[in-house]
């Protein structure tokens, strides 16, 4: 593509400089610069150093990467990112404007509604679909909106699983159908293929895992990596359940840092494909997990689950043969960063979870795997297994990468329109 003019925004001196830079349009329709992307024809604004700062979006598109089509008449997933203009409920009533006064009786003013004051249908609270408040007589009630789901080629919906009860440290044996987004990363060496880390399937073509799983960083030999989804046992093959995929791309977070021994920004993405060039295929044992929106958080004490093939207790030299799960509760940031726990090693990019009696925890070998929590009728990936002192030690809970902080980073690297 020929050179085009970009605006170079210099915030320090509040001046604009017109420059020429090379930019190419990829087959997927993303404008790429410095590894970050602006979708749908958005213009990347650069700092003087040439780093991407933000996207200027064309009319009809919004979002940090111009990923949201505001003209759409349908919604994906639960419609968390629906930004269309439908403003009537399923009963035909006109939606009330989103403002504190009209919804004061419902408590906190909803967020994530898009720019400006409006009465368009939205889903700010993880309901099953976009909705709005309407007036019926003297009452204000919440009603779903009459918006159809968008048709998708792959037809997947995130965060759904079989709810079977089946009897990680202190955990119990699980079935991959209960955690169908579970991925297992293997690395091939002269001694053969060995299990390396866990991961989570976030779309048919992408797995989210931990950055520290790749000690060679950007020099990692991708041809030596393979990813299994639908795998119930590390050393067994079940052709009816599992799929083996190759790795074509690896993105390690640019600010991953272990200088202080705490794995800050411990997150990475793997693009996967089967030998025939396709991505993962949906089945009862292979599904994708939902990703929470930017800075979406859950209350302290929320019950979540961690899964993995790691050691069943500290000190064992071998990993678990089968997938295991453990139920944990989220801890407050104040507690986890207190002197009695981890102190200043905890950053805003981390969250902690443990069991009240310290009997359950993630352990060595669980790295990169999912910490998932249920929100209404879907399962969301709130944490990536990152680090901790020992396993199941008192006042030493597992530390997880806070996935909601990386929502936009994931969109930028994958080019996905949404993650719901």
Enter the DSSP assignment of 122.
Answer: B
Q: Is the pLDDT of residue 317 over 80?
A: no
Q: Is 367 a catalytic residue?
A: yes
Q: Is the pLDDT of residue 27 over 80?
A: no
Annotated catalytic residue within 69, 266, 361, 366: 266
Distance CA 102, CA 135 (A): 10
How many other CB atoms are there within 10 angstroms of residue 101's CB atom? 8
Distance CA 23, CA 132 (A): 41
> Do 252 and 307 have their domain in common?
no
pLDDT for the residue numbered 338: 95
How many other CB atoms are there within 10 angstroms of residue 15's CB atom? 9
Q: Is the pLDDT of residue 281 over 60?
A: yes
- Our count of domains for the chain comes to 2
Residue at 25 is within a domain: no
Residue at 191 is within a domain: yes
Q: What is the mean pLDDT of residues 208-219?
A: 95
> Do 306 and 399 have their domain in common?
yes
pLDDT for the residue numbered 166: 41
Q: Is the pLDDT of residue 8 over 70?
A: no
CATH number of the domain where residue 233 is located: 2.40.10.10
Residue at 293 is within a domain: no
Q: What is the mean pLDDT of residues 182-209?
A: 93
Provide CB contacts within 8 A for 95, sequence distance 6+.
87, 88, 89, 119, 120, 121, 132, 133, 134, 145
Rounded to the nearest integer, the mean pLDDT of the chain is 79
Category of 70 on φ-ψ map: left (φ > 0), alpha (ψ -120 to 50) or beta: alpha
> Do 306 and 398 have their domain in common?
yes
Residue at 340 is within a domain: yes
Residue at 36 is within a domain: no
Distance CA 58, CA 146 (A): 27
Share of the chain above pLDDT 70, in %: 74
> Do 234 and 321 have their domain in common?
no
> Could you tell me if 47 and 36 are in contact, meaning their C-beta atoms sit under 8 angstroms apart?
no
pLDDT for the residue numbered 69: 62
> Could you tell me if 45 and 53 are in contact, meaning their C-beta atoms sit under 8 angstroms apart?
yes
Sign of CA dihedral 32, 36, 42, 48: negative
| 39-53 pLDDT, tens digit each | 767 787 776 666 666
Sign of CA dihedral 326, 256, 200, 245: negative
> Do 391 and 325 have their domain in common?
yes
Q: Is 200 a catalytic residue?
A: no
Annotated catalytic residue within 81, 120, 212, 253: 212
pLDDT for the residue numbered 42: 77
Angle at 49 between CA 45 and CA 53, to 5 degrees: 30
How many other CB atoms are there within 10 angstroms of residue 392's CB atom? 23
Provide CB contacts within 8 A for 325, sequence distance 6+.
168, 171, 172, 174, 178, 179, 305, 306, 307
Residue at 389 is within a domain: yes
Residue at 158 is within a domain: no
Tokens of 238: 């079940």
Distance CA 404, CA 208 (A): 13
Model pTM greater than 0.75?
no
**How buried is 347 (Cβ within 10 angstroms: 0-12 exposed, 13-18 middle, 19+ buried)?**
middle
Q: Does 207 or 36 have the greater pLDDT score? A: 207
Q: Does 99 or 278 have the greater pLDDT score? A: 278
Range of the domain at 386: 302-403
Closest CA relative to residue 253, chosen from 294, 206, 202, 211: 211
Alpha carbon of residue 75 to chain centroid: 19
Residue at 162 is within a domain: no
> Could you tell me if 169 and 361 are in contact, meaning their C-beta atoms sit under 8 angstroms apart?
yes
Closest CA relative to residue 396, chosen from 318, 343, 321: 343
pLDDT confidence tier of residue 311, bands split at 50, 70 and 90 = low
> Do 337 and 268 have their domain in common?
no
**How buried is 248 (Cβ within 10 angstroms: 0-12 exposed, 13-18 middle, 19+ buried)?**
middle
Residue after which a domain boundary falls, among 252, 273, 294: 273
Tokens of 107: 């408590």
| 61-74 pLDDT, tens digit each | 666 777 666 656 67
Q: What is the mean pLDDT of residues 393-417?
A: 92
Annotated catalytic residue within 65, 203, 320, 367: 367
Angle at 122 between CA 117 and CA 126, to 5 degrees: 135
> Could you tell me if 182 and 200 are in contact, meaning their C-beta atoms sit under 8 angstroms apart?
yes
pLDDT for the residue numbered 318: 46
pLDDT for the residue numbered 165: 44
> Do 339 and 382 have their domain in common?
yes
Distance CA 23, CA 49 (A): 16
> Do 250 and 317 have their domain in common?
no
Which of 8-12, 196-200, 260-264 has the weakest average pLDDT?
8-12
Q: Is the pLDDT of residue 321 over 80?
A: no
| 160-177 pLDDT, tens digit each | 887 654 434 444 556 899
**How buried is 3 (Cβ within 10 angstroms: 0-12 exposed, 13-18 middle, 19+ buried)?**
exposed
> Do 318 and 268 have their domain in common?
no
């Amino acid at each position: 593509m020929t050179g085009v003019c970009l605006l170079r925004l210099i915030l320090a001196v509040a001046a604009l400089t017109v420059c020429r830079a090379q930019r190419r349009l990829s087959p997927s329709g993303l404008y790429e610069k410095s590894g970050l992307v602006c979708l749908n024809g958005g213009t990347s604004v650069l700092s003087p150093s040439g780093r991407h700062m933000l996207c200027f979006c064309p009319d009809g598109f919004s979002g940090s990467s111009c990923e949201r089509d505001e003209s759409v008449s349908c919604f994906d997933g639960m419609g968390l990112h629906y930004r269309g203009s439908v403003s009537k409920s399923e009963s035909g009533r006109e939606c009330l404007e989103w403002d504190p006064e009209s919804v004061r009786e419902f408590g906190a003013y909803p967020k994530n509604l898009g720019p400006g004051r409006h009465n368009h249908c939205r889903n700010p609270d993880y309901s099953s679909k976009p909705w709005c408040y309407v007036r019926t007589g003297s009452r204000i009630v919440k009603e779903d909106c009459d918006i159809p789901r968008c048709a998708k080629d792959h037809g997947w919906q995130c965060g759904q699983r079989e709810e079977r009860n089946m009897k990680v440290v202190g955990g119990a044996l699980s079935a991959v159908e209960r955690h169908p987004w579970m991925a297992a990363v293997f690395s091939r060496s002269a001694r053969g293929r060995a299990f390396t880390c866990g991961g989570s399937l976030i779309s048919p073509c992408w797995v989210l895992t931990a950055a520290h799983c790749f000690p060679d960083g950007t020099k990692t030999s991708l041809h030596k990596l393979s990813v299994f989804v639908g795998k119930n046992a590390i050393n067994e093959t079940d052709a009816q359940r599992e799929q083996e995929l190759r790795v074509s791309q690896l993105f390690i977070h640019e600010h991953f840092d272990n200088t202080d021994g705490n794995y800050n920004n411990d997150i990475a993405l793997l693009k996967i494909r089967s030998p025939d060039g396709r991505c993962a295929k949906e089945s009862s044992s292979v599904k994708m997990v939902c990703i929470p929106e930017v800075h979406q958080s859950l209350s302290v004490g929320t019950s979540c689950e961690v899964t993995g093939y790691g050691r069943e207790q500290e000190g064992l030299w071998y990993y678990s043969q089968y997938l295991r799960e453990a139920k944990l509760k989220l801890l407050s940031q104040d507690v986890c960063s207190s002197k009695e726990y981890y102190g200043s090693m905890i950053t805003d990019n981390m969250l902690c979870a443990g069991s009240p009696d310290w009997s359950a925890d993630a352990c060595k070998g669980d790295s990169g795997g999912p910490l998932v929590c249920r929100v209404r009728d879907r399962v969301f990936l709130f944490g990536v297994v990152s680090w901790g002192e020992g396993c199941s030690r008192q006042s030493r809970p597992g530390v997880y990468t806070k996935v909601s902080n990386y929502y936009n980073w994931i969109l930028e690297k994958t080019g996905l329109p949404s993650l719901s």
